[in-house]
Amino acid sequence: MQATLYNQAGDQVGDIELNETIFGIEPNVSLMHQYVVMQHANARLGTHNTRGRGEVRGSTRKLYRQKGTGRARQGSIRASHRMGGGIAHGPHPRSYRKNMPKKMRRLAVRSALSVKYAASQIRFIDAITFPEPRTKDFIQFLSSHGLNGKTLIVIDSKNEGNAIVRRSANNLPNVKTLLATYLNVRDLLMYDNIVMPKASVDVIEGYLGQTGRVAAASEEE
């Protein structure tokens, strides 16, 4: 499958060949949901803590005798129903971490990419280069391509040129730069526009397109 390729100025310069097993599959919605739930769960710190009746300050002495006072029976001043007492069944530090098999994670990312491609929300660029970090230049780049709303810039690696791109976009609240190897479902679905330089597409197809390439090779045999 082919898509239109643009240059940095916003002009069409040709076509780019895309792997259909990445950008053209039937999306697995339930798997994408499971992936996002896993991301949110793994982002939780789980450091919440409360003190039980054995951890708060106060004497363990019985407040007064059990019978004969006409009052309700009471035990320690640390009881949970008393002011300053311990918390009953309160939260304690725990891990919320969830796991997904690698094949399921990659299928979820391929599904999200296919959803974005079908919605014409992925812009393929031959390359993005700036001589120096300037927010004004990056705004001009977005304007040339008519990119309004939240935009995700997918870069291929941590080199000097991409560092300039990241620094140019840092001051824009609706723009985020992300390494192609860190691509995930939440970021793909959260942003209105996805900008992918040609080098980033090669990286993505390198680790997400292996299944498709093996299948194609077996069919040829």
**pLDDT tens digits along 12-50:** 999 999 999 999 999 999 999 999 999 999 999 999 999
Residue of 118, 122, 193, 183 whose CA lies nearest to 156: 183
Strand order of the sheet with strand 122-125? 12-17, 2-6, 122-125, 193-197, 151-155, 175-179
pTM: 0.81
DSSP-H helix ranges across 83-197: 102-118, 135-144, 160-169, 185-190
> Under 8 Å CB-to-CB from 161, ≥6 apart: which residues?
129
pLDDT digits (tens), the chain, 221 positions? 889 999 999 899 999 999 999 999 999 999 999 999 999 999 999 999 999 999 999 999 999 999 999 999 999 999 999 999 999 999 999 999 999 999 999 999 999 999 999 999 999 999 999 999 999 999 999 999 999 889 999 999 998 999 999 999 999 999 999 999 999 999 999 999 999 999 999 999 998 975 443 333 333 43
Which pLDDT belongs to residue 220? Answer: 40
Identify the structural domains of the chain with CATH numbers, from first to last. Answer: 2-30+101-220 (3.40.1370.10), 45-95 (no CATH)
SS3 37: helix
The letter for the amino acid at 74 is Q
